[in-house]
Structure 1
Amino acid sequence: MKGKIAVIVMAVLLVFYLVLAGVRATLFIQSGEPVGILIGLGLLILPLIGFWALVREVAFGIRSERLVRQLDALGGLPAADLPTRPSGRPYRDAADEHFPAARAEVEAEPGNWHAWLRLGLAYDASGDRKRARRAIRTAIALERAPK
């Protein structure tokens, strides 16, 4: 829940920033000076890139959360019996023991989004966030593909 609140706060702050940057950008562009126009364009473009990144991340979070709920409803989530640190994160050695089974499942069924999602969760438990996100994005794409 804290993550959702943080995303909402960041989105509201970004919209506030976009409005302020837009006003300043307009003033710079209206100056008519070449440097002012370039600064004004930069003030418009950079926040829009930030907004695009935020929308993409929020969409990823919504889609991945939906897939986790679907897999949980099917009883397909990996067991949550890993020993954890006080922070709640599993110990890497314990998580690494479950990883080969998840990888083997993907190799056996590369078109199965359930397998890719479990692989992404295994990567995440092992602390490899980059590969976890890639595997979960693959699961999202497979689940959304026409059947």
Structure 2
Amino acid sequence: MSGQDVAGAGGRAPSGRKVPRGLPGAIALTALLALYVWQIGGRGLAMLRSGEPVLIGIGVGVLVIPLLVIGLIAREYRLAATVQRMADTLAADGRLPVDDLPRSPGGRIDRAAADEAFEQRRVTVEETPDDWRAWYNLAFAYDAAGDRRRAREALRTAAGLFRA
């Protein structure tokens, strides 16, 4: 089945929503990680069945890796689904953030404009720390400022507030 069959005509899902651009890559990466988990899990189980105390200990350690991988993948997919629901909610309300920051001819965001937008959103979060919308906007301000780690933390905070 081709991507066109899954998404329907024009890259749209049967519900009429456009398929997220990164979804095929995420699915492919998840499939590769599933293959990795299967291989490592098989090796760990073989070590457990060996009956040798040292191999059993190593096998237990080896089996922890696939469990961590599965947990991290599930966490990221849950975050992605929640962020999409937040974006849909904001879009329905007409409050989805717009990337209108000035850019250089090379496409880089003007640092001073990003810092100014960030400061406004930081103040909003300080005034309304329980508002997921404020945290969502702060996440994209962090991203525009080039701080991906804090952007992700802010998205996780927004997602937690959204789910609550």
* Unaligned 5+ runs, structure 2: 1-19
Q: CA deviation at 1:69?
A: 2.2
Q: CA deviation at 1:85?
A: 5.9
Query: 1: distance between equivalents of 2:81 and 2:105?
Result: 27
Q: Which residue number corresponds to residue 112 of structure 1? A: 131
Is the 1:89–1:125 Cα contact (8 Å) retained in structure 2? no
- Are residues 1:41 and 2:60 paired? yes
Change in 2 beyond 3 A, CA 1:87/1:60: farther
Q: Which residue number corresponds to residue 72 of structure 1? A: 91
Q: Which residue number corresponds to residue 3 of structure 2? A: none
TM-score normalised over the length of structure 2? 0.77
Give the number of the structure whose residues are more often helix, by fraction: 1
TM-score normalised over the length of structure 1? 0.85
Runs (4+) of structure 1 exceeding 4 A deviation are 85-89
Is the 1:64–1:140 Cα contact (8 Å) retained in structure 2? yes
Query: 1: distance between equivalents of 2:40 and 2:148?
Result: 32
Is the 2:41–2:66 Cα contact (8 Å) retained in structure 1? no
Quick one: which of 105, 111, 129 aligns to 2:148? 129
Quick one: which of 113, 133, 157 aligns to 1:138? 157
Query: 1: distance between equivalents of 2:154 and 2:161?
Result: 11
* Unaligned 5+ runs, structure 1: none
